[in-house]
Amino acid sequence: MSLDGTNSYVLSAPDSRGVVVVDPGPLDEAHLAALQSCGPVELVLITHHHRDHTEASARFHELTGAPVRAFDSAYCHGGNSLADGEVLSAAGVRISVLATPGHTADSGCFHLPDDGPNGSVLTGDTILGRGTTVLSYPDGTLGDYLRSLDVLESLGAPAVLPAHGPTLPNLGDVVRAYRMHRLERLDQVRAALLTLGLSVGSADVGSVTDRVYAEVDPSVRRAAEHSVAAQLHYLREELSF
């Protein structure tokens, strides 16, 4: 589920001694020591609450004294919760905070407009370096996710710095591919409902998953069911308008 593991990022301007750390990750003392060795930690940012991103947050705050900030105040340590549209300045780096719910309700991205010719965006699990992300329904919803893709597409073509997998050169291209994938899945769910003779309201997640994700590896079956639940919720919302 985490591809090659969780990527932690260390941000710093060339002339700054201090650093910003994004997603300290699971509780691994050697990893935290490596992050701390990069320089005095001024700020720690969290993309969302999942354990592979936040388990080490309290310990890293204890080690560095740096405030840990997240959209969900429950995952902040010595700092306030993040706000959509907030612009941070730390370690000589300008960081624009974007609320991008969908993977989870508290998912956020961090735009670095001065990083290279087109800037870059730390996308957490909203955009991955390989494959597509899971919607952790009911915490994350497809409607929120599609709106978040619109927000990210408006940034143009910055580089993608994901929490899992390799970096990617053009966020706009990835967002458009992600949106197409989601809309194709919705069409597959609609077709499955017709084939099964089910309405959106009466459909059970397991039957639809069997048909739409027939080839999925059993190890990610639960993730597929989360996605189907999110898709059915989205279709029910469509019918309510």
pTM: 0.95
Task: Report pLDDT for 1.
Answer: 54
Digit-coded pLDDT (tens) for 22-61? 999 999 999 999 999 999 999 999 999 999 999 999 999 9
Instruction: Please list the alpha-helical segments (H only) found in the chain.
Output: 29-36, 51-54, 57-64, 142-153, 171-196, 205-212, 221-240
pLDDT digits (tens, 9 = 90+) for 205-217: 999 999 999 888 8
